[in-house]
Each structure stands twice: as structure tokens, then as C-alpha cells.
Structure 1
């Protein structure tokens, strides 16, 4: 992605840690939760790879179309699962946003920064609004879960890292924030 190297590295670390935690969640889950955690891990690691500052590593020309194919393939099961609920619809929007960013980056010259005087494209603006809303809503939902988890009601110490709903929401929140940041630098 285009933008300052320091913010790029922060995005890389944030997304990689989120992806690693999602792998831990995937290991400790079964069924649909395992699939969801796997999709979120793919998204986290993919976002980390895309956020590496261009000043440090310029991806080869085939990398952006490869990202588009990978996230396009990830969108297929998300599309199928979206029939079951809104969270899967969010995965579909996220995979679509990654495909969109990959296509835009494939067509962007390596030295270009931002949109210049052309303004924000309609799809980028719509995705920014969606993910900004998602971040706000997820942040609001995270507060009550954290307050209940911290109440010390006896069995709180037995939950494993993958079984903590507030950590899963915090990871989704951080990926949403990272998506907003990546869309802003597009």
C-alpha cells in the first residue's frame, strides 16, 4: 500500500498478530467457528502482506493479481455462508474489499501516492463508510463483553485463548481499523 513506512509497519504488525490469534482460535474451535477463524486468519495475514511499505519491498507485478485471486476464492465460501447470517456477509464484503484493493494496486504505478486531485472513487468511499461503521459498531459491542468478562464470576480463568469472545471481537475490530487505514491510503 502507498503511504508512510511507519504506519505501514504498524499495520503489518497489527494484522499479523491478529492473523496469528485467529489461527489459535481456529485450533481450539470446531465446525463453523473454525471456518470463521480460518477466514479471519487469511484476512489478517493477507492484509499484513499488502501493508508492507513499498519503500521496503515492492511486490512483483504478479503479486497483486495473485492477491485478487486468493481473496476472490475466499469470497466464494463467504458468499455461500452469507445466507446464514450477517457476520458472513461481513466476510464477503471484506474479501471483496481485498479484491478491489488488489485490482487497484495492480493498475497503480509504483511511485504514485494517493488519488491526487481525482478525489475518492465511489466504491472506495462506500467501503470506507461501511468499515468505519463496522469499527464503531464493533467497538460499542466490545465494551459490554469486556465488562462482563472482567467481573470475576468464578469460571473466568478456565477459558482458553481461543474461547474468549472479547478477544475475537477485538481482533475483528483491529482488522476493521486496518481496513479503514488501507482504504484511506489507496
Structure 2
């Protein structure tokens, strides 16, 4: 990522902290937060229903943790990591998320949002890699239309997420359970917007 070094390091610190928080939630979140659909003859609490519950409870945290640490690394390392590496890191999860969104309607919007984020990370990395050694002096040669569409998406997402965060109410427990995750999503939306803005 090209731009002032201070901005890159601040972006890296913000997204790494957000990613670390999301991954730390994996230990605290219940393993069966969302119950699996009832199956005739199944024993309540059987192992069959635990795996879908665990997937639903931790899927977003895993995706957001991967996104946060990826943005932090990209902001600091720039083109030191080849774009193809990022494509292999983010491409398969994006495909899996799209397939899961098509197969299961619950949490479809969340899965599609994370898929867009993973594809945006891949696109940004490949564009920066294509710029080569001139990335520090010239914009990355991405598609202006695609860059503009992603900027509009993440800018809109940041505004929407920020408005939800500001409109939230409740005590300390409510802030911890809903406010911090929303703040992390907001920071990563802003981070993705900032990375795209430098292209």
C-alpha cells in the first residue's frame, strides 16, 4: 500500500487490533449459539447439531480476523508479499462463502459481505503486485470501475455500520456484546475503504 508511512502504520495497528479481537472471541463465544434444524428421531444435544452451531457462532469471527490481519500485513508489507499469495489466501474462502450463501439462506448477507471483503483483498493485492516496484510512486493499475464500485460499497458499509453503532443503546454488557464487534466491523470497513482509496 502506497501513501504516507504514518497512515500505513496507523491502518495496520487499527486492523490488527480489530483482527486480534475477532479471533479472541472464538474462545468466548458459545460453541452452539445457533441450534441446528430439528431432525426427526435425533437426540437433543447430539453431536450432529453441534457442528452447525459452532460454524454459525465462529464463522464471522474467523472471516473478520483473517481480514484484519491481512489488511495489517498488506498495509505494512505492500508488494513484498506477491499478489498470488494473497489470491490463494482469500480466494478459496470467498468461493466457499458465496457457495454457503447460495446454499443456506440464514446469515446470507453476512456471508456475502465477507465474500466481497475477501475478493476486494485479492483484487487490491493483485493490483498492487501488478504495479511492481513503482507502487510507491504511481497508483496501482486496477480497474477504475471496479475500484469505484468497491469504494462505494465499503464507504456505504462504513456509514451504515457507524450509524448502527451510534444508535445502539444499553449498559456495559450490551456495549461489550454488540458495540465492540460492530466497532471492529466499522474499523475494517474504513480500513478497506482507505486501501482502495490509495489505488
Fold shared by both chains (TM-score > 0.5): yes
- Name the CA distance, whole Å, in 2 between partners of 1:170 and 1:77: 26
User: 1:65 aligned to 2:84?
Assistant: yes
- Which residue does the alignment assign to 2:49? none
1:64 offset after TM fit, Å? 1.9
With over 3 angstroms needed to count, the CA separation of the structure-2 counterparts of 1:119 and 1:110, relative to structure 1, is closer
Could you list the runs of 4 or more consecutive aligned residues of structure 1 that deviate by over 4 angstroms after TM superposition?
Answer: none
Gap regions ≥5 residues in structure 2: 32-53
Give the TM-score normalised by the residue count of structure 1: 0.83
Write the mapping of 1:91-170 to structure 2, written as runs, cut at 5 A. 91-112=114-135, 113-115=137-139, 121-145=144-168, 147-150=169-172, 156=173, 164-170=177-183
Q: Is the 8 A contact 1:4 1:53 kept in 2?
A: no
Of residues 46, 50, 58, the one that matches 2:70 is 46
1:49 offset after TM fit, Å? 0.4
Gap regions ≥5 residues in structure 1: 151-155
- Name the CA distance, whole Å, in 2 between partners of 1:139 and 1:47: 20
Write the mapping of 1:1-80 to structure 2, written as runs, cut at 5 A. 1-29=1-29, 30=31, 31=54, 32-52=56-76, 54=78, 59-60=80-81, 63-80=82-99
Give the TM-score normalised by the residue count of structure 2: 0.78
User: 1:86 aligned to 2:125?
Assistant: no
1:120 offset after TM fit, Å? 7.0
Count of aligned pairs: 170
- Name the CA distance, whole Å, in 2 between partners of 1:133 and 1:20: 24
The root-mean-square deviation of aligned C-alpha atoms, in Å, is 2.2
1:122 offset after TM fit, Å? 0.5
1:115 offset after TM fit, Å? 3.1
1:81 offset after TM fit, Å? 2.9
SS at match of 2:7: helix
- Name the CA distance, whole Å, in 2 between partners of 1:119 and 1:15: 23
Worse overlay, 74-83 or 130-139: 74-83
